[in-house]
Amino acid sequence: MLSMYLAHERDLINMVQEMNKIQFSLPTGSERIVYEYYLDRVPKRRRFIKWTKKDKASKERDKQLDKVMVEFEVSKLEADRILKVIDAIS
């Protein structure tokens, strides 16, 4: 979550990409290592990083996915595939 947040700042993107290369290969419970890495490496200054929100289209897509999942009793992945087929036909 921290990496995703910091990736919204342009001057930190390269640092976040480097951390992402190793972050998911670390053992479970090593979140503290990631936190300390960013604490030491991110330049200290005031930042206002605006968290991006879902747009209206993706909210509508999520509603459609939920409807398909309930109607056909399928997983989210299968519901997404069904919606892609329906969109291709339309």
pLDDT score recorded for residue 75: 94
Q: What is the pLDDT of residues 36-56, one digit of tens each?
A: 988 888 888 887 777 777 788
The per-residue pLDDT of the chain, averaged, comes to: 87
Name the residue ranges covered by the structural domains of the chain. 2-41, 56-89
The Cα 42–Cα 6 span in angstroms is 9
Q: Are 15 and 42 in contact (CB under 8 A)?
A: yes
pLDDT band at 73 (very low <50, low <70, confident <90, very high): very high
Q: In this predicted structure, which of 7-11, 15-19, 77-81 has the lowest mean pLDDT?
A: 7-11
3-state helix, strand, coil in the chain (%, to 5): 70, 0, 30
Q: What is the pLDDT of residues 12-36, one digit of tens each?
A: 888 889 888 888 888 888 888 888 9
What's the predicted TM-score (pTM) here?
0.50
